[in-house]
Amino acid sequence: MSSYQPQQTTTADQTASAIDATARTVHYKCGDCDMDVPLKRGEPIRCRNCGHRVLYKQRTNRMVQFEAR
């Protein structure tokens, strides 16, 4: 007996977005030694220098504007 196996089609956009999602790094600052810690998705949340587990996300460079009333 043969079983039906549908074709698996992936476009370049899907592949690029999957690679981009895993390769994107976010920079944090260690709460103990103030070292810059770049982390990717799935990596343990720990400073590579001192092992401290409290990391602070750095402020964005984009302008943030709120409407006050």
Q: What is the mean pLDDT of the chain?
A: 82
Write out pLDDT tens, residues 36-59. Answer: 999 999 999 999 999 999 999 998
Q: What is the pTM of this model?
A: 0.58
Q: Is 19 helix (H, G, I), strand (E, B) or coil?
A: helix
Q: Over range 25-36, report the average pLDDT.
A: 94
Nearest-CA neighbor of 24 among 12, 41, 37? 41
25-61: CATH superfamily? RNA polymerase ii, chain L (2.20.28.30)
Domain ranges of the chain: 25-61
Q: Is 22 helix (H, G, I), strand (E, B) or coil?
A: helix
